[in-house]
A and B are shown apart, each in its own frame.
Chain A
Amino acid sequence: MVAATPLTVTTAVKQEFGFRVSDFRRFRSTAMLATIWGFSLAAIIPLLFVFYFVTSKGVGGLNWDFFTALPAPVGQEGGGMANAIWGSLMIVGMAACIGVPVGVLTGVFLSEFGEGKFAATLRFTVDLMTSVPSIILGLFIYTILVVPMNGFSAYAGAVALAVIMFPIVAKTTEEVLKLIPDHIREAGLALGIPRWKVIISIVLKGSVGPVATGVILAVARVMGETAPLLFTAFGNSFWSESPSQPTATLPVAIYQYAISPFKQWHEQAWAGALVLVMIVFFANLITRVIMRGSGVKRSR
């Protein structure tokens, strides 16, 4: 029966198409490969277009002033987005300071002590939070921070972004730590190393690379968040005197400039978009380079 099957197929294929079964298989293999290549290329095309458009439209608006000067009043030439660039870096930096430690520790808890009802609830909450629309998180921070503090601030913006970052970091950390097999942990315990040291010095240290990748993805994600910042950091046409004041950020500035009726502002919006893409791109690149050679080595 087993031996007969290919024979019948051969005959059938030969009768129907006039070529041998090996030709048919080769054709099918090539067709499948071509499909896979085709779809992969289709997936890259939008990314390439984004790069192309942002670069071609944004590069014209880039100059020294763009990085150093404040926005110019309507009708005046020049001006830049220095306050927005700095504001974005500061808010994302503060958000990372809150979101990364909380996220990593939550991930460690879920991976290392993640049995029982509380952990199951926490895991579900983290999963849920990754899919809560960011505008809703913005409104939430607006209610609990902006209203009581009587005003928009960089602090509120940072907290909103931290709330977006934390579940992403927690989820990645949990998944990555779970890849370290249990017998590695036991080997540590069997050497007379306390469990907390095993977790920090063996489990977490062995996963620095992948955890850092998760952190960078989270940073990149919040770098471009606009909606939650509209309700929290708000925006500012000038330098903020302190983080407790409304603060300009790149995504919000891009949004405001892009919906304005002024052609010159549109150009600035494109330049801002290019700067934003570049920040994310280089943050990714630098982490990759630093992390190369460290992290988990493949065992075989």
Chain B
Amino acid sequence: MQVKTSKASKTTTAANSLESDNSESKTILTIRDLNAYFGDFHAVKNVNMDVDANEVVALIGPSGCGKSTYIRTLNRLHEEIDGATVSGEVVLNGENIYAGHADPVSIRTKVGMVFQKPNPFPSMTIFDNVVAGLKLAGIRKRSVLEETVERCLKQAALWDEVKDKLKEPGMSLSGGQQQRLCIARTLAVNPPVVLMDEPTSALDPISTSKIEELITELKTQVTVIIVTHNMQQASRISDRTAFFYLGELIEYDETKQIFMDPKEDRTERYISGRFG
């Protein structure tokens, strides 16, 4: 499972420096030599990264640096785009999700995803939105569905606001509520890892702080990998931060370390706002 990378690239120094810390906490995701392409365009270049269970990892970097593409390789959503390909290994709990026999559909039940724009399913009620994943997997038992709806909406801190109108369309909620509904929908299939692609960039500050609180609470149950353009957000909610630039993972370290004393000059220049 632990593939030692001996190549003296910048990314491996980052990964190596973390291996010592890994002794006590459990590694849930191991990413090795990951490359992602759109046709001929090399969007993500040779990324190596370890993620511990129950931590929040923030991915920062200028637009177009490949962070969104990168997290979309972690649930095999990247390959759904025409001409998009991936090489490398992503090991989730000891299982390589890119192994030949691996089924992308079942992997996505283990690695959930929340998108930039709130996207409840049209013409579905709040209730049906939450259990869409379960229902379409064939679970019909009313008691199970009801229990899941209550648990997930409570986890997503939305229950009190919607418990009396579960039969209303998901689209009738406000933007921030819709995003929390989408988080509840993701949690309903019980994924150990949740990916978030700029989940608050379309929301107002109050909704944003609600989602941030929520992420901190979810940490006890899931591992969160979040892409954000907001560096304050990264520093507030994440345990570790990864800085991407032009498709490469430049630096990956404790969030405090990245923001107080980054090792790389490019990281420092980015977080101090001198480029990007």
Q: Do A and B bind each other?
A: yes
User: Which residues in A have some Cβ–Cβ distance to B below 8 Å?
Assistant: 115, 180-181, 183-184, 186-195, 197, 201-202, 205-208, 294-299
Task: Tell me which of B112-120, B220-228, B232-240, B251-259 binds A.
Answer: B112-120
A193 touches B123 (CB 8 A): no
B105 touches A192 (CB 8 A): yes
CB distance from B95 to the nearest CB of A (A): 15
Cβ-closest chain B residue relative to A180: B122
B133 touches A192 (CB 8 A): yes
Task: Tell me which of B11-19, B29-37, B75-83 binds A.
Answer: B75-83
Q: B110-137: which residues lie under 8 A (CB-CB) from chain A?
A: 110, 112-113, 115-117, 119, 121-124, 132-133, 136-137
A191 touches B80 (CB 8 A): no
Cβ-closest chain A residue relative to B112: A190
CB distance from A190 to the nearest CB of B (A): 4
11 pairs of residues in contact across A and B, judged by CB atoms under 8 Å: A184-B121, A187-B115, A190-B108, A191-B108, A192-B105, A192-B133, A197-B136, A201-B132, A206-B121, A297-B172, A298-B171
Cβ-closest chain B residue relative to A181: B119
Q: How far is the CA of A202 from the CA of B105 in the complex (A)?
A: 16
Size class of the B contact interface (CB-based, 8 Å): 20 to 34
Note all chain B residues with C-beta closer than 8 A to A208: 123
Note all chain A residues with C-beta closer than 8 A to B77: 186, 189-190
Q: How far is the CA of A181 from the CA of B136 in the complex (A)?
A: 20
Q: How many A-B residue pairs have CB under 8 A?
A: 85
Q: Which 4 pairs show the lowest CB-CB distances between chains A and B? A: A192-B109, A191-B133, A206-B122, A190-B113
A189 touches B80 (CB 8 A): yes
Given A190-B77, A192-B137, is A183 in contact with B123 using a C-beta cutoff of 8 Å? Answer: no
A187 touches B121 (CB 8 A): yes
A202 touches B132 (CB 8 A): yes
User: Which residue of B108, B115, B185 is within 8 Å of A183 (Cβ)?
Assistant: B115
Note all chain A residues with C-beta closer than 8 A to B137: 192-193
B82 touches A184 (CB 8 A): no
CB distance from A174 to the nearest CB of B (A): 17
B115 touches A115 (CB 8 A): no
Cβ-closest chain B residue relative to A186: B77
Note all chain A residues with C-beta closer than 8 A to B108: 189-192
A191 touches B112 (CB 8 A): yes
**Per-residue 0/1 for B62-100: is the Cβ within 8 Å of any A Cβ (1 yes, 0 no)?**
000000000000010100101000000000000000000
Note all chain B residues with C-beta closer than 8 A to A295: 123
A186 touches B80 (CB 8 A): yes
Note all chain B residues with C-beta closer than 8 A to A188: 121, 132, 136
B152 at the interface (CB under 8 A from A): no
B117 touches A183 (CB 8 A): yes
Note all chain A residues with C-beta closer than 8 A to B115: 183, 186-187, 190
Note all chain A residues with C-beta closer than 8 A to B121: 184, 187-188, 202, 206
A206 touches B123 (CB 8 A): yes
User: Which residue of B116, B122, B172, B189 is within 8 Å of A192 (Cβ)?
Assistant: B189
Given A191-B132, A191-B189, A193-B136, is A205 in contact with B123 using a C-beta cutoff of 8 Å? Answer: yes
